[in-house]
Amino acid sequence: MAFYRLEPWGSHYDDLRAGVVASMIGNVHRDHKKRAKPFGDLEFISWNDHARGSRDAGPILLGDADSQSDLIARMMFPPRT
């Protein structure tokens, strides 16, 4: 657990690392006249489009405490397919 805090691993972190490389390549080749703002690493991650739409949404609060706990567990640890 302590090592994970120092050096996180997993698919999300791999995607973020790939996004950093892709944004660097995109910034090297971007037309500064057409796009003055540099690309960010999250702009090159496909799952970020889903997260981008939900950032402005408020928290999901359920009436039942058990249902709320189940929702939190499913969001943090999605079932493997």
| pLDDT by residue, tens only, the chain of 81 residues | 677 677 666 777 788 888 899 999 999 999 989 999 999 888 888 776 644 554 556 788 899 999 999 998 888 887 776
Residue with tokens 């790939």: 18
Determine contact, residues 29/44, Cβ cutoff 8 Å.
Answer: no
What is d(CA 3, CA 81) in angstroms, rounded to the nearest whole number?
27
Measured CA to CA in angstroms, residue 56 lies from 18, 51, 67 at distances of 25, 10, 23
> CA nearest 16: which of 8, 27, 4, 28?
8
Which pTM value belongs to this model?
0.48
Within the chain, what is the greatest distance between any pair of CA atoms? 54
